[in-house]
Amino acid sequence: MTQAIHLDLELPGDLAWFRLPAGVNSRLTALLDKQDSGQPLTRNEAEGLVDLADTLTYLGLKASAERLVFCSTCN
């Protein structure tokens, strides 16, 4: 069963400078390297990658929308 949740996030002013914490980045790189080499990921690993991709996509879209709103008020 799929559940929907609503999150209100306060985003930093410039997401272009956003970086994952070193440990998260290292684990993400290891999982992507494992996948690229043809080794199967566990279900938890694969679901974690999908969840992270979804979250980062949402943050990127949110930041883009906020830039558009900000720029439309710049005139």
pLDDT digits (tens, 9 = 90+) for 4-29: 777 666 666 666 667 778 998 899 89
Pair 49, 41: CB distance under 8 Å? yes
pLDDT of 74 > 60? The answer is: no
Q: Name the residue range of residue 51's domain.
A: 28-35+46-75
Per DSSP, 5 falls in state -
Domain count, the chain: 1
**19 in any annotated domain:** no
On the CB side of 57, CA atoms within 13 Å amount to 6
SS (H, E, C) 6-73: CCCCCCCCCHHHCCCCHHHHHHHHHHHHHHHCCCCCCHHHHHHHHHHHHHHHHHHHHHHHHHHHHHHC
Assigned domain for 53 exists: yes
**Among all chains, which residue has been given the structure tokens 């883009």?**
64
Assess if residue 7 is contained within a domain: no
Does any domain span residue 55?
yes
